[in-house]
Structure 1
Amino acid sequence: MLCFQFIFQVNMALLQWVYTGRRKWKGKLEVVALLIIATLCLLIILQTDFQGKKSQATRQYRVLTKPKPEPQSPAVFLSLAPQCERNSSVSKIQGFSTLPKLIQDFLFYQHCRHFPMLLNSPGKCGGPENSADVFLLLVIKSSPSNYERREVLRKTWASERLQSNMWIRTVFISGTTGDGFEKERLNKLLELENREYQDIIQWDFDDTFYNLTLKQILFLEWMERFCPDVHFLLNGDDDIFANTDNMVQYLMGLDDNDGSKHLFIGHLIQNVGPIRHPGSKYYIPVQVHKSDRYPPYCGGGGFLLSRYSSRVIYNMSHSIPLLPIDDVYMGMCLEKAGLAPRSHMGVKTAGLYIPSGQQEANNPCYYREVLLVHRFLPKHIFIMWHEIHREDLDCAKKTTVSVQNEIFMD
């Protein structure tokens, strides 16, 4: 009260000073001093009020307003990391000259962990201090040319929204493709998209299959800086059909885990090892990975994890050489930390088994109850998302889903 009375007296003094038209320096100095003291009083009042509000009890998940993106400032946020130089000494590895060029290139740059950032979305989670307001962050791996896929996802399962009173936010992670004019054209495409949606992170490295692990690690580094306190993440490809409504319900129903404990679920793969056949897409020679076993891991098409587990993976990655197979690498990081991925029957990265055959593959009742299915064309994602949300959809007849056989949508 004393501060308010003092501020009132200062205002009256100012009015009197202006009214009388005094211009002497002594009068000016007195008014300035009064103004400074009044301002300090006002700041004390505001600070006390803010601390009082902040100390009020909060719910387990803070649900306030939609996180407001911070202003974009490329000069501040874009990385100045220099281009990584290749390690020519790896050419002395026994049998190096017999390896495919893709494997040779991977070994030349395997040590590289930092690349210049071309595009950023620093305010995606409302700033680091507000990132706990984001319940589920959708992290979607997408190559620059996949414009149609990104547009469909923004309009369907990856739309940013309040679902069951929990915020879902989306970010696409990408490298660069092509050379010369083609690379420049695709980079411009992503720049225009990010100007409109503010949902793209892009680094200046070749966006290839063998650099998927690099893309994952670069994202986890980004998350530590800009979105450290999100509760859960979906990490997946841009050709999956994800029932994000079901994901929120599942994650909300977890006992005693708000993201601060280990969670890593998907389609579990175990008791397998590297493919040594050079003709395979997944070929891993002994020069890259000596062991004949892989740790348990979840298929890279899509998996759910907590912020705790994402941080563990990032920390473990500092001491584990990169492996081209990104989902196996996630399993390697978890194993080193003494943790393990788990299987969830709702994640179908190997496709759905439809008992009645291909003619029933488009029945939305098979997709209404799952969490994720891999390999959808954009048009089928768009159709299926709207089909499973039809108010007149009748799925009274029990449908069973398994992964004994694969039925893909493309």
Structure 2
Amino acid sequence: MIDVRSLMQLSACFQISLSLPIGHVYLHISTLCEALWLWLSRMLLRRKTGFFLMVTICLLLISIWKNYHIPPPPFNGAQLPPEPIPSREKPAAIISRPSLLISPRCEQNLSMANVSGFFDLPTRLQDFMYYQHCKHFPLLLDLPNKCGGADGSSDVFLLLAIKSPPQNFERRQVLRDTWAQERPHKGVWIRRVFMSGTSGAGIAKRRLNKLMAVEHKKHGDILQWDFQESFTNLTLKQVLFLEWVKECCPRVRFLLNGDDDIFAHTDNMVDYLQGVHGNDGGDKHLFTGALMEGTGPVRENNKYFVPVQVQASDSYPAYCSGGGYMLSGHTANVLYRMSRFVALHPIDDAYMGMCLDRAGLKPSAHMGVKPWGLNIPLVKEDTFDPCFYKDILMVHRFMPAQMYLLWDQVNDPKLRCWSDGTA
């Protein structure tokens, strides 16, 4: 006969375990196991093994243990901050400020599964829609004093904000050695930050993060957030960067926002920005680059595909191509405020246009920004002739070795070109 008293002990212990907070469940799991063992011993002594009942209860215990002991896996890089990496630098250089470390955990929006046609979309867009509402991720590598602190940030005339995934070590070093050098020019300062998320998973991700920390310790120029790098997360990177600007560099005069494969003639940028009449960047709007007007979402299934489930409208507000554009510090702060009310979009440059539109502002065109390269008329001409590049502001795109060559030639004091009559 089955021992009814032992079964009652098991039931009571089980009910108590389920009603307790997670932190106290472990003790009652062990109590439950002890009661189960006592009951099984009695059954064996009476030659009543109750085999199927034993299996059922064991499976129940395993289920309870898994549910309470193993937390649900994070998605999309929204993980708790890793253990701090030992450093001889000041802790703030590696570990970000507490206000930005403590970010709300991003939970999947399961209601998106009810959207018509959701499961017919590419996985990357399903993931984007599941987590579209998430705009807060912790900083792993921070630069709280890059601009001299919030009060001193007005001393930074041009901040180069360069999007660069963790694995692009070589590109970042090339830029440090060429156009992204931190230096004064014509009496004003040029500063540099690289914006990055995380890449990979498991050991590979941890290894990359450690390498990034070593690189950051040496150069002091990396902002890294704990979200997964992807094309659709470029918008998230922009919003997080704008938040950082508001916190750490609110009085910066101007910014260049660009990719790590562009060639930027930063001397020309400073010359242009110093010549903008009546705008020192502090309280006037400026957002300029390769202007895109009359465009809309791409409905074909490619890299730029935006389904109607994400945007029903067939048009975008005017925006500038995301390869590279310049903006004033004033406009950067306006964009951050607007981003709090504009839902994330998988196309980052179009999203900037949406935020500008929300603020009642317009982007402008600059002929010196060439996101699709230069249109060199003669086939026989050398496409890397520095004379083609000495007057531009920005060109997309170059390999690292090409960047070294071009920067050296453009800055050669002996350079002579037909266009300026010096050849």
TM-score (norm 2): 0.76
Q: Where does 1:205-284 land on structure 2 (aligned, <5 Å)?
A: 205-259=227-281, 260-278=283-301, 280-284=302-306
Deviations 1:356-388 (A, max 9, x none): 126420100001000000111111111101100
State the AA in 1 paired with 2:208.
Answer: L
Percent identical: 53
Aligned partners of 1:373, 1:365: CA distance in 2, in Å?
13
Query: How many residues end up aligned between the 2 structures?
Result: 330
- Over aligned residue pairs, what C-alpha RMSD do you find? 1.6
Q: Which has the larger radius of gyration?
A: 2
Offset of residue 70 of structure 1: 11
Residue 320 of structure 1: aligned partner: 342
Secondary structure at the aligned position of 1:258 is classed as coil
Mapped pair 1:128 → 2:150? yes
Aligned partners of 1:291, 1:82: CA distance in 2, in Å?
31
Aligned partners of 1:218, 1:256: CA distance in 2, in Å?
29
Structure 1: gaps of 5 or more residues:
1-68, 400-410
Which of 169, 172, 177 in structure 1 is aligned with 2:199? 177
Residue 120 of structure 2: aligned partner: 98
Offset of residue 81 of structure 1: 1.4
The structure-2 alpha-carbon separation of the partners of 1:118 and 1:73, relative to structure 1 and needing over 3 Å to count, comes to: closer
The question of whether the paired residues in 1 share the 8 Å contact of 2:199 and 2:229 is answered with: yes
Mapped pair 1:145 → 2:167? yes
Residue 108 of structure 1: aligned partner: 130
Mapped pair 1:74 → 2:95? yes
Residue 33 of structure 1: aligned partner: none
Secondary structure at the aligned position of 2:93 is classed as coil
The structure-2 alpha-carbon separation of the partners of 1:203 and 1:210, relative to structure 1 and needing over 3 Å to count, comes to: same
Residue 186 of structure 1: aligned partner: 208
Structure 2: gaps of 5 or more residues:
1-89
Residue 405 of structure 2: aligned partner: 383
TM-score (norm 1): 0.78
Aligned partners of 2:120, 2:355: CA distance in 1, in Å?
29
Aligned partners of 1:240, 1:358: CA distance in 2, in Å?
24
Deviations 1:161-193 (A, max 9, x none): 001111000000100010111111111111011
Deviations 1:254-281 (A, max 9, x none): 1100002000000011111111112x11
The question of whether the paired residues in 1 share the 8 Å contact of 2:338 and 2:358 is answered with: yes
The structure-2 alpha-carbon separation of the partners of 1:312 and 1:216, relative to structure 1 and needing over 3 Å to count, comes to: same
Offset of residue 392 of structure 1: 1.2
Aligned partners of 2:380, 2:354: CA distance in 1, in Å?
36
Moved over 3 A (4+): 69-73, 75-78
Which of 346, 354, 376 in structure 2 is aligned with 1:332? 354
State the AA in 2 paired with 1:267.
Answer: A
Residue 182 of structure 2: aligned partner: 160
State the AA in 2 paired with 1:94.
Answer: S
Residue 24 of structure 2: aligned partner: none
Aligned partners of 2:96, 2:384: CA distance in 1, in Å?
47
Mapped pair 1:298 → 2:298? no
Deviations 1:229-255 (A, max 9, x none): 000000000000000000000000111
State the AA in 1 paired with 2:214.
Answer: L
